[in-house]
């Protein structure tokens, strides 16, 4: 079934919105719409799986604990190893940030 990454998103939200696109025992793919909402202050993601994430639209800043932040523009992507603490410190509202995130365990694909 054909779908479109930009279609079917809520028009606006007071929270980040996530949709699971595919999941099996080895991989989890989701699309995320940020609506101008960064990670909460002092909150750090620390995931048990590796993550490959692409910023499909908008602009964002990804901050890694004890490292410099990186600025992302539409089309940029980054690999985040499991256990690497990170947070989204800035996301644009116009255009809205839309992400494609792929979570997996190295060696499981």
Q: What's the structural domain count of the chain?
A: 1
Write the burial class of residue 104 (CB in 10 Å: 0-12 exposed, 13-18 middle, 19+ buried): middle
Task: State the pLDDT at residue 88.
Answer: 97
Task: State the pLDDT at residue 109.
Answer: 52
Query: Would you say residue 38 lies in a domain?
Result: yes
Give the residue ranges of the chain where pLDDT is below 50: none
Task: State the pLDDT at residue 29.
Answer: 98
Query: Would you say residue 109 lies in a domain?
Result: no
Task: State the pLDDT at residue 15.
Answer: 87
Task: State the pLDDT at residue 66.
Answer: 86
The number of beta carbons lying within 10 Å of the beta carbon of residue 31 is 19
The whole domain housing 25 covers: 17-104
């Amino acid at each position: 079934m054909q779908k479109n990454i930009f279609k079917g998103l809520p028009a606006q939200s007071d929270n980040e919105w996530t949709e699971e696109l595919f999941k099996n025992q080895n991989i989890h793919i989701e699309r995320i719409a940020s609506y101008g909402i960064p990670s909460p202050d002092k909150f750090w993601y620390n995931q048990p799986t590796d993550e490959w994430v692409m910023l499909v639209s908008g602009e964002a800043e990804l901050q890694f604990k004890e490292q410099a932040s990186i600025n992302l523009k539409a089309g940029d992507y980054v690999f985040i190893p499991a256990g690497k603490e990170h947070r989204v410190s800035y996301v644009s509202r116009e255009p809205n940030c839309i992400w494609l995130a792929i979570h997996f365990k190295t060696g499981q694909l």
